[in-house]
Structure formats: structure tokens, C-alpha cells
Amino acid sequence: MAVRRRDAAANERASTAGSPCGKCCGRGVFTSGGSGPIRGSGGCASDEMSAFLGGALRSRASHRLWSSAPLCATDTIFALSSGQGKCGVAVVRVSGPASALALRGLTGPDRPPAPRTAALRSIFHPQSKEILDRGLVFWFPGPHSFTGEDSAEFHVHGGPAVVSGVLDALGSLPGLRPAEAGEFTRRAFHAGKLGLTEVEGLGDLIHAETEAQRRQALRQMAGDLAQLYRDWSQRLTQCLAHVEAFIDFGEDDLIEDGVLDQVDNSVAQLQTEITCHLHDGRKGERLRSGVQVVIAGETNAGKSSLLNLLCRRPAAIVSPIAGTTRDVVETCLDIGGFPVLLSDTAGLRETADAVEQEGVRRAREKVEQADLTLVVVDATQLPTDPLQVPVFLGAHLLAVLPHGVGLEESLRHCILVLNKSDLLPVEQVEKTQTFLNKNPGLPPASLLSCHTSHGLENFMTSLQSRLSSLCGDPLAGTPSLTQARHRAHLHECFQALGQYQQYRDVDLALAAEGVRLALTGLGRITGKVGAEEILDIIFRDFCIGK
């Protein structure tokens, strides 16, 4: 009679010697093994100089209420905090306990700047020691800073090469990561640094930033890269599900050890692929900076004429034939000092022509990624009764803008352009313009003629005001920052997979934790994966008998 123990399956493995935990840090006070560690490290004296020199990694987490403790206190974040557009100086802001480290890393250990005083320094890359720029640096020891934490600022020359050089340099330091949308302001809020009136506006700002970031990610993720990340995420989810199955059900069900061998292979494979990807010099097509403005609408409404009018040259072919533009025509413009990437798209209509269908598909994709959409409508089709106008325009907007969750949002990011005003009787032009000025619950609308340029001034004013609010948002249209964020998360993912391998034979719970962390890192790029999804895979792949 064979003797079998419920946990016999994995006993052999337990005896294969594994590496000891090498990552232990002797810091911290023992507080009741998991129940007590809720307490933060308490306040600390603000000896500013010593904080600058030595206390770089000291946590300022306070165990008091949220109002005095920033969320996630120990991460140090950085971002370009000046808006884009034509500017001589760009401001890169760093906040968190490692701010001092960042300042020392980029400007050298000598001569720390006095708190809250400008100091001229050479700024160099901490690894390559290459000089990036010469600029002003500031050191704001907490709590007397915008976020209430230690923070630092680098005021450098505004060129894209310098800015991305500084961002790269910061990203290479331990403990620093690119900021998430609205994180600085969020921290400031939590530190009680914002007044009530400022808080009111903050929500909207965060909203705008999140949206801008979502659109940016969408652009970045379009195409092969998205496919690659999604594939990794799926494989990693599968790995985690199988490890979890082995932990939760391995004892009583026929889940063979082979399951873990498969996971081993997958993890090793993923590690290789992620490293290759991180070291791959090709970053894909360089994403151009600028506010993405897309012209969309029905065929023959005058979209290409509008493009030509805005760039003062015949960049797109115009003709009276509907469906002339079939592909996306892009052009870089400077409008009122703001960098704009203007795209003209194919007219939206049902068509049997395969080429035009593809054009329409691309047009819709463009609209989804746009920061601002100019919806062009043929004004000669406007109903003569002004009361019918909102319904008519509403139907047009619905036909052009993406449906579903994003609709409310897209309405806020669009301008209606009623073209061909020269073909309308003068009194109707006036009547319509007066009516539109009353803002009947529609996005801003301008009546103009691309043919005679009548009404253009009015339209430009409204366009520039939208651009200025969009450019005030430092995160919009900076692909390098999105890329830096993605790289940081991929690096996290890679390191966490190392934890899996380190503990695979020692402690499967800790190994699984590694896969979970890896998936969290990747999830920050591709979207979250929850516990229920893991369980779904477990129950799909295994027959759980008890």
C-alpha cells in the first residue's frame, strides 16, 4: 500500500538548497510582526543641513492623520513642472525624501545650496558624468515646500534635449520615479498646503492631467508596442494564476509540479524579453511633442480647407469632390506660441471603398487620441429655424466624437467650426452667430468661411484660449515623460521577477509576491489585474475538486 502525504508533492523541492535572503535591510524597529508596523517613523527634527547631507532616505511619514501625512510618503517623484510651448527656462521638480540625494547626484556633493535660495550649478548625469546644462537649483527642505516634503527644483534651459537629459538622469537614481498625474498637487493637498479655494480647482486639474495622460498613453500604446505589453501582461497573469493555484489548491487536487516548471520557463523568458526591450535603442517612431489637434467631420465640410487656412499653405489637396482626403495629413504648426500637431482626417461617412474605409478608421482613431478636436460642419446645411440648430449640431457631434464613457470628456475638448458662411445670406449669418454666442449648451462654436477668411479672427481667439489651457498642463504632449514612466514600470516588473527566482525554492509565498509585484508594475501601463481575474484563470485551467 503506497503511503502518500498531502504535501508530499513538493517536499523534495524543499530540500534543494536555495539562496538565502540577501535583500534584508537591518533597519526598522520590530513592532509585533505585522500588526504594529502601521506606525510611521514619527516626526523628525528639521535640521535642514543634516537632511541634505545624510538623511536622504529618511521617511517623513507621520502616523498622525492623513492631513499631515502624504500618501505613499517614501516615494520620491519628479516631473517637468513648467508648461510646454516656447519658453527659455524649464522647471523640473523633485519631491520626496530622496530629493536631497537627487540634488547631490546631479550637482555633486559639495556646496549644498542654502534652503530656498537660487544657486548656479553645473548639472550632470550621475552615471556618465556628462554635463547636461548649467542652471539654477533650489533646495526646499520639508515642511517648508510646496508639497510639505523635501523637494528640489532644477531650472534649466528649455530645449527638449536638456529637459529629457535631466529627466533621464533623475530616473537613473535609486528611489526616484516619474510622477503620476497630479501627484505633486495631491501631496501638497495631503500635507495641508493648499487652501480650500485652491482645492476646488485641484480636482479639475487632476482630471485634466489624468485625461491628458490617458490620451498620451493611447498614442504611445498604439500599434506594436501595445500588442507587446498586452502579451506580457497576459503571460504574467497566467503565471501568477498558476502559482496561486499551486499554493491554494496544490495539496488536494491534481495540480502537478509541472505547473511550476512552466511558470519558471515563462518567467525566465519574460525576463529576457523585458531586458532586451529595455536595452533596445530603437524607441519606435519618435513621438512629436505638441498639442494634438484633429480636424474631423463629414465629407466635404471643408476640413482640408481649414488645415490649409491654418498653415497658410496648401498642405492638403482640396476639391469639391466628397472623399478627397483619404489618409491623415499631419503638419506641425505654431499657433500663438503653442506647438501644435494639426491633423486633417478623412470625412466620416459609410463607404464601400476599401481605401476610404481605412481612412475613416484612422480618422476615428485620431479623434480618440486627440487633445482637441475641431468638428467641422457645413453651415449651408444648418436648419433655418435657430431653435433646431442645437439638435442638428448635437447629432453632428455624436457622429464624430467617440461614444461611451469618453463622450462627456470629449465634448469638453472640442470646438465646433461652422464653415462656408460665405454661402449663407448675410442676415442668417448674423442671426446664427448671435444665437451661438448665447452658448446653447454646446461646445464653443465659430461661424467662418475658409474661402473668404471671414470669421477667422473670432475662431483663432477661441482656439488660442483652448491651447493655452491645454499647454498649461505640464504632462500633456510630453512623450518622453510617458516613455520614462513606462520604462520605470518595466524595470520594476523586471526586478520583481528576480524576486520570484530568488525565492522559488525557498518560500513560494514570497516568490508569488514577486510575480504579483511584476504584474502590478506592468499593470500601471496596461491596466489593472484583479484577484478575481486570477481566480478565473485558476478555475478555467484546473479542476478544483474540493
Partner 1 sequence: MLARRVLNRPRSLASPSSWAASARTVTACDVIVVGGGHAGTEAAAAATRVGAETLLVTQKIQTIGALSCNPSLGGVGKGQLVREVDALDGLMGRAGDWAGVHFSILNRSKGPAVWGPRAQLDRPRYRQFIQAELLSMPRLTVVEGSVEELLVSEPDPEKPGKHRVTGVRMADTGRIILARSVVLTTGTFLSGSLFMGQTTSPGGRMGDPPSGSGLSRSLKEVLGLRLGRLRTGTPPRIFKRSVDLSLAQLQLPDQRPTPFSFISNGTHCKPEEQLPCYLINTTPGVERVVRESLHLNSHIQQDTRGPRYCPSIESRVLRFPGRQHQVWLEPEGLTSDLLYPQGLSMTMPPDLQVRLLREIPALRKAEIQAPGYGVQYDFVCPTQLFPSLEVRSAQGLFLAGQINGTTGYEEAAAQGVWAGVSAGRRALSLPPLSLSRTQSYIGVLIDDLVGRGITEPYRMFTSRAEFRTSLRPDNADLRLTLKGYCDIGCVSPRRYEEAVRMKAGLSEALSALQDITLSPTRWREKLPQAAVSANKSGIMSAEEVLQYKDVSFEMLASAFPDVLGPYVEFAERLKIEAMYRPHCEKQRREIERILQEESLSLPQDVDYLSLPVSLSQEVRELLDRVRPATLGAASRLPGMTPAAILHLLNYITRTPQRDRSAERSSTPDPQNLSDESRDSFPCVPVSQ
Q: How many CB atoms lie within 10 A of CB 376?
A: 30
Return the range that interacts with partner 1 (CB under 8 A); candidates 66-74, 120-128, 328-336, 417-425: 66-74
Q: Does 258 bind partner 1 (CB under 8 A)?
A: no
Is the separation of the CB atoms in 56 and 67 below 8 Å? no
Q: Which listed residue (124, 140, 249, 338) binds partner 1 by CB under 8 A?
A: 249
What letter would DSSP give residue 311?
H
Q: Is 74 in the site for partner 1 (CB under 8 A)?
A: yes
State in angstroms the smallest separation of the CB of 246 from partner 1. 8
Q: Is 535 in the site for partner 1 (CB under 8 A)?
A: yes
Q: Is 5 in the site for partner 1 (CB under 8 A)?
A: yes
Q: What is the distance of C-alpha 130 from the center of its chain?
A: 28
- Using the minimum distance from each CB to partner 1, give the nearer residue, 97 or 297: 97
Amino acid of residue 358:
E
Q: Find the DSSP H helices in 456-507.
A: 456-471, 479-503
232 binds partner 1 (CB under 8 A): no
Size (the chain), residues: 546
Spell out, one character per residue from 165 to 204, where the chain touches partner 1: x when CB under 8 A holds, - when not.
Answer: ----------------xx---x--x------x--xx-xxx
**3-class DSSP string for 9-42:** HHHHHHHCCCCCCCCCCCCCCCCHHHCCCCCCCC
Size, binding site for partner 1 by CB under 8 A: 83
φ and ψ of 513, to 5 deg: -55, -40
Closest approach, Cβ 238 to partner 1, in A, equals 14
Amino acid occupying residue 14: A
State which of positions 11-30 bind partner 1 (CB under 8 A).
Answer: 11, 13-14, 17-21, 23-28, 30
> What are the residues facing 418 on neighbouring strands?
377, 447
Q: Should residue 261 be labelled a site residue for partner 1 when binding is judged by CB under 8 A?
A: no
- Interacting span for partner 1 (CB under 8 A) from 38-46, 329-337, 371-379, 425-433: 38-46
Query: At CA 59, angle to CA 58 and CA 60, rounded to 5?
Result: 120
Q: What angle do CA 519, 525, 526 make, to 5 degrees?
A: 75
Residue 441 CA neighbour count, 13 Å, CB half: 7
Shortest separation between residue 192's beta carbon and partner 1, angstroms: 10
How far apart, in whole angstroms, are the C-alpha atoms of residue 323 and residue 392?
Answer: 22
Q: CB of residue 102 vs partner 1: minimum separation in angstroms?
A: 19
State the DSSP H helix or E strand holding residue 91, giving kind and residue range, or none if neither. strand 89-95
Considering only residues 403 through 432, tell me which ones interact with partner 1, judged by CB under 8 A: 405, 408
First to last CA, the chain: 24
Q: How many Å apart are CA 141 and CA 100, to the nearest integer?
A: 8
By the rule CB under 8 A, 35 interacts with partner 1:
yes
**Least Cβ distance, residue 415 to partner 1 (angstroms):** 21
Least separation in angstroms between CB 151 and partner 1:
19
In the complex, the smallest distance separating the C-beta of residue 532 from partner 1, rounded to whole angstroms, is 8
Q: Give start and end residues of each alpha helix (H) in 17-171.
A: 48-53, 99-107, 160-171
Select the residue interacting with partner 1 from 85, 135, 250, 359 (CB under 8 A): 250
Exactly one of 119, 247, 328, 488 binds partner 1 (CB under 8 A); which one? 247
Residues 77-96 that bind partner 1 (CB under 8 A): none
Residues of span 489-508 touching partner 1 by CB under 8 A: 503, 506-508
As measured in angstroms, the least distance from the Cβ of 253 to partner 1 is: 6
Q: Does 159 bind partner 1 (CB under 8 A)?
A: no
